[in-house]
Chain A
């Protein structure tokens, strides 16, 4: 059974940093593109970033470029999102999702809430 479990969310002040993790199991993690998707309270879904199987390609939504970094550790079956210079508008539930090449997100985690507030 495919499982994606996010962690690392919490309350952080504007300008602060946070690192999200996503633990993957039930599939060959090293063979899958992976993505982060977020959803602000009461709002729609927004794709944030994705990363190729070996980490050699990474793409970001314009609003997080230069502030967020996606990475992975295939030995640990884990995906990460390092978030720096956080803003109030980054407040959201952050989901990790498996991102099959040529298809679209088929499995999602349960999400972790990030709140940016003073």
Chain B
């Protein structure tokens, strides 16, 4: 099974800050990775697919990068609506796996 290690588990930041979240795969997954945002009581929303492709309708302040085992999600300038929990998901193997999540909180 492929394990996804996501860091940090929580992060305090201010509006306007640049933040980066990282996911590391236990083995190479090419670019078979997506990033999701989840707000309390809601279903997750896809932000990034294929490691770096921006989902239609998602603001350009979100970006993804990486390939193989190291991946990052960057928010260039935090907005109030970005405070949420973020997850990475690998779909390289037949058994998918999520990272543990990063809770982004207002400082």
Contacts and interface: CB of A to CB of B under 8 A. Distances in A.
Given A62-B1, A103-B34, A106-B49, A45 B43 contact: no
Interface residues of B, number: 24
A44 to B, nearest CB: 4
Interface in B23-82: 32-34, 36, 38, 43-46, 49-50, 55
A25 B94 CA distance: 25
Greatest chain B CB density within 10 A among A44, A60, A106 is at: A44
Interface in A27-66: 35, 44-47, 50, 59-62
Contacts of B36: 45, 105
Contact of A105 (B89, B94, B101): B89
Contacts, number: 55
A15 to B, nearest CB: 26
A110 B100 CA distance: 21
Interface in A76-101: 95, 99
A109 B44 CA distance: 9
Nearest to A99: B91
Main secondary structure of the interface of B (DSSP, over half): loop
Contact of A45 (B1, B33, B94, B98): B98
A105 B34 contact: yes
22 contacts: A44-B87, A44-B100, A45-B36, A45-B87, A47-B95, A59-B95, A60-B95, A61-B95, A62-B95, A95-B43, A95-B44, A103-B34, A104-B32, A104-B34, A104-B89, A105-B34, A105-B36, A105-B44, A106-B49, A106-B55, A108-B43, A108-B45
The 7 closest A-B pairs by CB, nearest first: A104-B34, A108-B43, A47-B96, A44-B101, A59-B94, A45-B98, A104-B91
Interface of B: 1, 32-34, 36, 38, 43-46, 49-50, 55, 87, 89, 91, 94-101
